[in-house]
């Protein structure tokens, strides 16, 4: 088996332009398209910002 380092990746949707952003831990938390800093987790339908743990 291959042993890859685990990289939890979460897709976020920009609160401004709607661009999907795939972020890993340690990435800058902002839209790569417009620079907006409010991103929503794509999977969760709540319109709340949940801090990545």
**Among 12, 31, 39, 40, which residue interacts with Zn ion (rule: CB under 5 A)?**
31
Residues 6+ apart with CB under 8 A from 36: 14, 15, 16, 17, 30
Shortest reach from residue 21's CB to Zn ion, in Å: 8
Helix, coil or strand: residue 21: strand
Please tell me whether residue 17 binds Zn ion under the rule CB under 5 A. Answer: yes
| Closest CB to Zn ion among residues 16, 27 | 16
| Closest CB to Zn ion among residues 2, 23 | 23
């Amino acid at each position: 088996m291959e042993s890859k380092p685990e990289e939890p990746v979460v897709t976020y949707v920009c609160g401004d332009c709607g661009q999907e952003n795939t972020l890993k831990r340690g990435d800058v938390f902002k839209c790569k398209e417009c620079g907006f800093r409010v991103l929503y987790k794509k999977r969760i339908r709540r319109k709340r910002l949940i801090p990545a743990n």
